[in-house]
């Protein structure tokens, strides 16, 4: 149905920040919000003297507290809750299957920017085709680092089909009424390092060609979203590093990951991996072919 947003809630400061971010996104999209708490009883922390009933009450209280807080902020927002006894990653991925978006909280790197992407978040990321947004406490809409009105940054791979990534990024920029910046990094072929008399004009020619390819790729979305102010940045070097720098002061960074049906591997490319661990803004990961 894809008519709601799902957010994982566990009572931590990170999940509370994610819930507030998700509520604001649900208001922007005018869709309901679903709060999900998943506990794997045999594996989750079992404190001495606490049984399943105690943990059930704690889980219910975490959902109730989050619901009350969000209703105070957004009285008209429709909120539902679900408490599941299952492995968190599997439960969140299953709950995301009929959602438009899944929001997860992530710990920040102390005084540094970026995320600590735990095993639950990573496993959930690669187990669902639904777009996933990682949010830190610093990304709290009501916090000092609030960047709701700031640009949306999107990393674009001109050599792949990025329709889902671009659609997501343009729709977010349109909802937020902010500018969109498309970023693409390129490198000269490794063989050029062994050319004894390298012509700098070759590098400039490649740069111009890559710029034209990016402009052509963005053109259909410019026409579809005329209200979005779009700019692009093409450079030679690491796309991950430039996206991380561009994330400073951004409202959202959008990156893609290739869908892989193999159960092996993390299914994340080097650019997405770098952005997930070092970006200074919420990160949306959009799966695409």
Question: pLDDT digit string (tens) for 236-270?
Answer: 888 888 899 888 889 999 999 877 655 555 567 78
What pLDDT does 147 receive?
Answer: 45
| E strands present in the chain | 5-8, 33-39, 79-85, 101-105, 107-108, 115-116, 132-135, 152-155, 180-186, 230-236, 252-258, 283-288
Domain boundary among 100, 125, 143: 143
| pLDDT at 77 exceeding the cut of 60 | yes
* Range in 44-48, 133-137, 232-236, 281-285 the model is least confident about: 44-48
Rounded average pLDDT over 91-112: 80
What phi and psi, each to the nearest 5 degrees, are found at residue 242? -70, -35
Question: Do residue 207 and residue 289 come from a single domain?
Answer: yes
| pLDDT at 81 exceeding the cut of 90 | yes
For residue 252, the cross-strand partners are: 152
Which domain CATH number covers 67?
3.40.50.620
Q: From CA 274, how far away is CA 282, in angstroms rounded? A: 13
The residue with tokens 């803004």 is 281
Predicted TM-score of the model (pTM):
0.85
What pLDDT does 144 receive?
Answer: 42
What pLDDT does 235 receive?
Answer: 85
Per the structure, how many domains does the chain have? 2
| pLDDT at 112 exceeding the cut of 60 | no
Question: Do residue 114 and residue 244 come from a single domain?
Answer: no
| pLDDT at 53 exceeding the cut of 80 | no
Q: Average per-residue pLDDT in the chain?
A: 82
> Greater confidence, 268 or 115?
268
Are 237 and 137 in contact by the 8 Å Cβ rule? The answer is no
Question: Do residue 5 and residue 109 come from a single domain?
Answer: yes
| pLDDT at 173 exceeding the cut of 90 | yes
What pLDDT does 194 receive?
Answer: 57
Q: Tell the burial category of 5 from Cβ atoms under 10 Å away from its Cβ (0-12, 13-18, 19+).
A: buried
User: What is the token pair recorded at 197?
Assistant: 């008399």
> Greater confidence, 234 or 193?
234
- Residue 174: which region, alpha, beta or left (left: phi > 0; alpha: psi -120 to 50)? alpha
Question: Do residue 153 and residue 115 come from a single domain?
Answer: no
Question: Do residue 132 and residue 259 come from a single domain?
Answer: no
> Greater confidence, 182 or 203?
182
What phi and psi, each to the nearest 5 degrees, are found at residue 214? -65, -45
Pairing mode, strands 132-135 and 252-258: unpaired
Domain boundary among 121, 143, 165: 143
With a pLDDT cut of 90, the percent of the chain lying above it is 43
Which domain CATH number covers 244?
3.40.50.12370
Q: From CA 67, how far away is CA 73, in angstroms rounded? A: 10
Question: Do residue 155 and residue 227 come from a single domain?
Answer: yes
What pLDDT does 280 receive?
Answer: 87
Question: Do residue 136 and residue 206 come from a single domain?
Answer: no
Helix segments in 84-129, DSSP class H: 88-96, 119-127
Question: Do residue 156 and residue 134 come from a single domain?
Answer: no
Domain boundary among 143, 162, 186: 143
Are 247 and 240 in contact by the 8 Å Cβ rule? The answer is no
| pLDDT at 68 exceeding the cut of 70 | yes
* Domain of 111, in residue numbers: 1-143
Question: Do residue 182 and residue 131 come from a single domain?
Answer: no
Rounded average pLDDT over 163-174: 96
């Amino acid at each position: 149905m894809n008519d709601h947003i799902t957010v994982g809630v566990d009572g931590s400061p990170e999940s509370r920040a994610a819930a507030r971010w998700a509520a604001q996104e649900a208001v922007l999209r005018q869709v309901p919000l679903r709060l999900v708490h998943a506990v794997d009883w045999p594996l989750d922390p079992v404190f001495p003297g606490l049984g399943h009933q105690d943990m059930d009450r704690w889980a219910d209280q975490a959902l109730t507290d989050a619901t009350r807080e969000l209703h105070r902020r957004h009285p008209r927002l429709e909120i539902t809750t679900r408490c599941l006894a299952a492995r968190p990653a599997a439960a969140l991925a299953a709950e995301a299957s009929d959602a438009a978006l899944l929001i997860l909280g992530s710990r920040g790197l102390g005084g540094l920017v970026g995320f600590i992407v735990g095993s639950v978040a990573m496993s959930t990321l690669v187990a669902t085709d639904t777009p996933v947004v990682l949010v830190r406490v610093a990304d709290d809409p009501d916090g000092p680092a609030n960047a709701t009105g700031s640009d949306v940054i999107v990393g674009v791979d001109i050599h792949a089909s990025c329709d889902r990534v671009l659609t997501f990024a343009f729709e977010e920029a349109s909802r937020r009424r902010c500018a969109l910046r498309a970023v693409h990094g390129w490198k000269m072929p490794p063989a050029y390092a062994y050319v004894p008399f390298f012509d700098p004009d070759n590098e400039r020619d490649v740069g111009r060609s890559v710029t034209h390819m990016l402009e052509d790729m963005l053109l259909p979305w410019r026409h579809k979203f005329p209200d979005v102010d779009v700019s692009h940045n093409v450079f030679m070097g690491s796309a991950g590093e430039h996206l991380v720098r561009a994330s400073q002061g951004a409202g959202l960074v959008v990156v893609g990951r290739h869908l892989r049906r193999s159960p092996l591997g993390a299914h994340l490319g080097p650019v997405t991996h770098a952005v997930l661990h070092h970006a200074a803004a919420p990160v949306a990961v959009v799966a695409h072919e």
